[in-house]
């Protein structure tokens, strides 16, 4: 048993979609969430910048005595996870590997991926999918505006819907019915994407695949917390006026937000 908290970081509010699923799957676990609002967005940054941000976030969480770190950010996972895993001794899990495992288990042979510009540019999703699943067809689409629109609380605005309409074109054209939401902000658009596509589609939420992976990992390593009471803390690197309202919409409850 280990009652130290799980640490989660993201560039902003999107990682709360992972936080929500971790809390649902692991109700006894203590959780510390860090939103790097000071450096948001990550999607248009250089790899060197993203690695620096990820290193700093990891250090802040380790200072809080976390037992593991979840990188709840597609861009940071694609660009920095190898560096962090080499640098730090505690387990560090990103959103890509658990999701690839799910796709493989489901025997999916044709899939779409939507993510930030930086993540798509890195080729991380397509590379990992093709390394693990023979003959899989991957259609990628960079969606540079979605994280920012979500962070501003405007996902359901005309601006948000217009962006979704544009970004869904290649999937609609090819009737792709499995799409990985490769940025943790994107589950916020779940309903809007389904309305735009107008056919049955599975939107693969990395928060769900990660939470199931983490549950199994903690049990296998005997790191799970069996105490009944759990605590959660949310820290931001810069105050963000829309964060609290968006967090409440995602989590379905008020959570105190602190600066770090």
Domains of the chain plus CATH, in order, are: 6-94+207-259 (3.40.50.1860), 96-206 (3.40.50.1860)
Write down the pLDDT at residue 12: 94
The alpha carbon of residue 195 and the mean position of all alpha carbons in its chain are separated, in whole angstroms, by 22
Render pLDDT for 182-206 as a digit per residue (tens, 0 to 9). Answer: 999 999 999 999 999 999 999 999 9
Q: Which of 183, 216, 215, 178 is nearest to 197 (CA)?
A: 178
Write down the pLDDT at residue 68: 98
Catalytic residue status for 73: yes
Write down the pLDDT at residue 254: 83
Terminal Cα distance for the chain, rounded? 28
The answer to pTM > 0.75 is yes
Report residue 228's pLDDT band, with 50, 70 and 90 as the boundaries.
confident
In terms of pLDDT, which residue wins out, 241 or 213? 213
Write down the pLDDT at residue 256: 87
Write down the pLDDT at residue 227: 82
Cβ neighbours of residue 107 closer than 8 Å, sequence gap 6 or more: none
How confident is the model over 126-153, as a mean pLDDT? 96
Q: Residue 138 above 90 pLDDT?
A: yes
Which residue in the list 13, 73, 76, 188 is annotated as catalytic? 73
How confident is the model over 130-148, as a mean pLDDT? 96
Q: Using CB atoms within 10 Å of the CB of residue 116, give its burial: 0 to 12 exposed, 13 to 18 middle, 19+ buried.
A: buried
Residue 194, SS3 per DSSP: helix
Tokens read off for 200 = 């049955």
Catalytic residue status for 143: no
Percent of the chain scored above 90 by pLDDT? 91
Which residue in the list 6, 16, 66, 183 is annotated as catalytic? 183
Write down the pLDDT at residue 200: 97
Report residue 94's pLDDT band, with 50, 70 and 90 as the boundaries.
very high
Q: Which of 172, 111, 163 is nearest to 142 (CA)?
A: 163
As a whole number of angstroms, the distance between CA 24 and CA 137 comes to: 32
As a whole number of angstroms, the distance between CA 55 and CA 230 comes to: 27
How confident is the model over 26-46, as a mean pLDDT? 95
Percent of the chain scored above 70 by pLDDT? 100
Render pLDDT for 46-72 as a digit per residue (tens, 0 to 9). Answer: 999 999 999 999 999 999 999 999 999
Query: 74 vs 100, 255, 256, CA distance in Å?
Result: 13, 24, 25
Query: 169 vs 36, 126, 131, CA distance in Å?
Result: 31, 19, 27
Report residue 208's pLDDT band, with 50, 70 and 90 as the boundaries.
very high
The alpha carbon of residue 209 and the mean position of all alpha carbons in its chain are separated, in whole angstroms, by 10
As a whole number of angstroms, the distance between CA 126 and CA 53 comes to: 24
Contact in structure between 14 and 188 (CB atoms under 8 Å): yes
211 secondary structure, DSSP code: H
């Amino acid at each position: 048993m280990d009652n130290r908290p799980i640490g989660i970081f993201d560039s902003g509010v999107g990682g709360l979609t992972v936080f929500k699923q971790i809390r649902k799957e692991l109700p006894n676990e203590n959780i510390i969430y860090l939103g790097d609002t000071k450096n948001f967005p990550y999607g248009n940054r250089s790899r060197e910048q993203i690695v620096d941000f990820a290193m700093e976030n990891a250090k802040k969480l380790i200072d809080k005595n976390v037992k593991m770190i979840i990188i709840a950010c597609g861009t940071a996972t694609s660009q920095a996870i190898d560096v962090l895993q080499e640098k730090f001794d505690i387990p560090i899990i990103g959103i890509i590997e658990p999701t690839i495992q799910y796709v493989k288990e489901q025997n999916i042979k044709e899939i779409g991926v939507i993510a930030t510009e930086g993540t798509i540019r890195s080729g991380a999703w397509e590379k990992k999918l093709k390394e693990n699943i023979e003959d899989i067809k991957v259609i990628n689409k960079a969606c540079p505006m979605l994280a920012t629109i979500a962070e501003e609380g405007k996902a359901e605005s005309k601006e948000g819907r217009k962006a979704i309409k544009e970004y869904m074109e290649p999937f609609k054209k090819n009737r792709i019915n499995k799409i990985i939401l490769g940025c943790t902000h994107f589950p916020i658009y779940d309903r809007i994407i389904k309305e735009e596509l107008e056919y049955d589609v599975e939107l693969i939420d990395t928060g769900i695949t990660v939470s199931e992976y983490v549950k199994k990992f903690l049990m296998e390593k005997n790191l799970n917390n069996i105490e009944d009471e759990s605590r959660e803390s949310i820290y931001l690197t810069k105050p963000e006026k829309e964060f609290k309202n968006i967090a409440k919409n995602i989590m379905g409850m008020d959570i105190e937000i602190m600066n770090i």
